[in-house]
Structure formats: C-alpha cells, structure tokens
Chains A and B, each alone.
Chain A
Amino acid sequence: DVKVTQSSRYLVKRTGEKVFLECVQDMDHENMFWYRQDPGLGLRLIYFSYDVKMKEKGDIPEGYSVSREKKERFSLILESASTNQTSMYLCASSSGGVGRNTEAFFGQGTRLTVV
C-alpha cells in the first residue's frame, strides 16, 4: 500500500513558537505538496516541490517555509506561529509522470492549534 505519513495527528503550540510539520512518502514520488484546509475555503496550496531542493510558492505561502533535502521527505515550517495559522494541514505526494499515476496521495492530516 502506498503511504504518506505525517509526523503528528494533533499539535498544540504557543504563539511565536517555531513549528515543524514533517511528511514522508514511500512511493518515490517527485512531487510533494502542503495544503491548508479550512471550513468553507477548501484546500489551499501553501508550497509544493517537484524535486529535491526545489520549491514553488502556492497560493498562501506567507508565514510558512519548506524544506526538501531528501526525495521522500517534505517539511513545512511555521517560523513564528500565530493564531491565524490554526488549521488542518494536509501533505500529499504525486508522480511527476503522465497517465494513470497522476493523482495525489494524502497523509492523514495534522490538526494544528496555536494558542
């Protein structure tokens, strides 16, 4: 079974803390994504990476950064957590190819609360 694993299911952090959300995939996928999910807003792309050490900003990159040092791991970093970053964070990966293997596979999500 293909797998995308996020390091935490639930996290509670304090305002101003530096927060790391980790994501690992075992499918040798080129592309990895971080989305934020909020009620009524759907999934909004924060950052994505199509190769090791490569990253592209999504629609809402402000307040976030990412790191991809190895193909299987994609980290989301909140440099200084704020209460408006309280949300569900979803990691996904996909093949960079064409044909059948084009869809994204998702992790279980991390519900982050910033207090």
Chain B
Amino acid sequence: AQTVTQSQPEMSVQEAETVTLSCTYDTSESDYYLFWYKQPPSRQMILVIRQEAYKQQNATENRFSVNFQKAAKSFSLKISDSQLGDAAMYFCAYRSARRDDKIIFGKGTRLHILP
C-alpha cells in the first residue's frame, strides 16, 4: 500500500527567509503524481504545486518549488521569500496514474511565519 510521511509536525521561519518542508512516500508504481496542498487557518484546502513522476524537471510555481528525488522517494517543498500569508498547514499527497485511484495525504506540517 502507498504511504506518505511528513516528519515535521511544525516548523517556523522568519519572514523573507527560505524554508523547506519534507515529504517521503512509498509506492511500487512507476507512474504517479505528487502534490503539495496548503490549508490556511479556517480556510479551504488549495493546491500549491504538482509534480508528475515521469518528469525529471522539478516543478516551480513562483516562490514555491519542489525537490523531487524519484529514486529516494522524496518530495520536498521549498518556499522562498516567506510571507505572512504562507502560514498554514501544508499537506503532501500522492496519487497513482490509474484513473480510479485514491489520493493519499500525509499528516501535515504546520508552518509558522515569524514577523
């Protein structure tokens, strides 16, 4: 069975600094998708960034980028120039490429931004 592990329950970073959130996963499949989601306090879960396993290039969305290490089954999220609005729960998620498969989430990392 596939699993997703986030080993950092909480992290803090100074505003304008860079922070990296860790995620590892386990799967026997070769084709899959990985995601980072953000859940601000009392607000809806939204997608931050997506990575297709068949792509070697790491995904980037503005200040957010990932370090995808397929062999190591590692998928970390880097947030550059942290802003107060980045404070949230961040969830790493996995989905196989099969049409009818579920999406599996890690337990989340709560990120605090220090002014």
Asked whether any CB of chain B lies closer than 8 Å to the CB of A33, the reply is yes
Question: Once the chains bind, are B105 and A35 in contact (CB under 8 Å)?
Answer: yes
Contacts of A76-115 to chain B: CB distance below 8 A = 90, 92, 94, 96-100, 102-109
User: A42 with B105: in contact, given A98-B97, A102-B95, A107-B44 (CB under 8 Å)?
Assistant: yes
Residue of B nearest to A109 (CB): B44
Within 8 A of A (CB), among B26-67: 33, 35, 44-47, 50, 52
CA–CA, A94 to B35, complex, Å? 13
Inter-chain contact B44/A42, CB cutoff 8 Å: no
A109 to B42, CA, bound (A): 9
Instruction: Return the contact of B102 from the options A56, A100, A108 (Cβ within 8 A).
Output: A56
Q: How far is the CB of B59 from chain A (nearest CB, A)?
A: 11
Could you give, for residues 82-115 of chain B, a 1 whenever the CB lies within 8 Å of some chain A CB and a 0 otherwise? 0000000001010101011011111110000000
Most buried by B among A58, A96, A102: A102
Contact in complex: B100, A31 (CB < 8 Å): yes
Choose, from A12-20, A43-51, A62-70, the stretch at the interface. A43-51
B106 touches A104 (CB 8 A): no
Given A56-B102, A96-B100, A102-B95: A90 and B107 interface contact (C-beta under 8 Å):
no
- Chain B residues lying within 8 Å of A106, measured Cβ to Cβ, are 44-46
Q: How far is the CA of A65 from the CA of B84 in the complex (A)?
A: 40
Q: A58-B102, A103-B33, A103-B50 are in contact. List 9 more A-B contacts (CB 8 A).
A: A30-B100, A42-B107, A45-B102, A50-B100, A51-B100, A90-B45, A102-B33, A104-B47, A105-B47
Taking Cβ atoms with an 8 Å cutoff, the residues of B that contact A are: 6, 9, 33, 35, 44-47, 50, 52, 91, 93, 95, 97, 99-100, 102-108
Chain A residues at the B interface, C-beta cutoff of 8 Å: 30-31, 33, 35, 40-43, 45, 48, 50-51, 56, 58, 90, 92, 94, 96-100, 102-109
Top 6 closest pairs, chain A to chain B, by CB: A42-B107, A50-B100, A106-B45, A96-B99, A43-B105, A102-B33
